[in-house]
Amino acid sequence: MGTHGIITGFDDENNTPNASLPHASGHEYDWLSPLLGKWRASRGEGPWTGPTVEHKSVIPLVFSPEDFMRAHIWEPLGIAEDTSFYPKTKEGMKDRMADISTLNDKGEPLAVDAADFDILLGSTGCLGGASVFATPKAYGIVLSAVARRYAKLLKPASFNELFRPQLNKQQKKALNDYVDQSPIHTQLLAIRIPPSIMKTWCFAGLVAKEGQEGHFGPGTVF
């Protein structure tokens, strides 16, 4: 996804896309987008065609997540200058990026600079879950806005749906069986919520059905 850039318009006279930008998200089904439908037609193709997932899914993107999130989240919260998928390209951010240090192989000090560590593992695009950089203050503002159900971000009904558990009994069992199948699954996917605690899922993340004394209460969203 993203190989063909972002489609911003279509020149009907010449039957070519007007412009594309090199970003890597904003994927939409081609049968739902008039622009993508025209792009498919210009290649003599129909929607969702081809023998492989690559043929079906490698299509232009319809927006840049950087621009979308800036307009709808970061600017309304006043954190646009402290938040980005691409901090190294931002004059006001690149010199403020935190360095990463590491202990030795035994987990012992002294800590040394981990210059080769790359949290994005070489990716240059916008990744879900890992690639937005923000200051601690900006991140705190986002969390506070969600906790306060800030009306400029979502309508009240949308906030209700965001936190509503979505899984039925069978789906909850499948989720718990999967995230608790090994210690590494529990650490990374269950976010260290003990296997003894039933978990479910909402659009905001994992939900602990019971509490753990000294750590979190029933219904906590992770």
The whole-model pTM stands at: 0.73
How do beta strands 199-202 and 83-84 pair? unpaired
Mapping DSSP to helix (H, G, I), strand (E, B) and coil, where does residue 91 land? coil
Confidence (pLDDT) at 167: 96
Distance of alpha carbon 131 from alpha carbon 184, whole angstroms: 22
pLDDT greater than 90 at residue 80: yes
Q: Is 217:206 a contact under the CB 8 Å cutoff?
A: no
Confidence (pLDDT) at 19: 38
pLDDT tens profile 102-152: 998 888 888 899 988 888 888 877 877 778 999 999 999 999 999 999 999
Distance of alpha carbon 4 from alpha carbon 14, whole angstroms: 18
Contacts of 149 (CB under 8 A, 6+ apart): 156, 159
Q: Which two tokens stand for residue 35?
A: 């622009």
CA angle at 191 for the pair 189 and 192, rounded to the nearest 5°: 115
Distance of alpha carbon 98 from alpha carbon 77, whole angstroms: 22
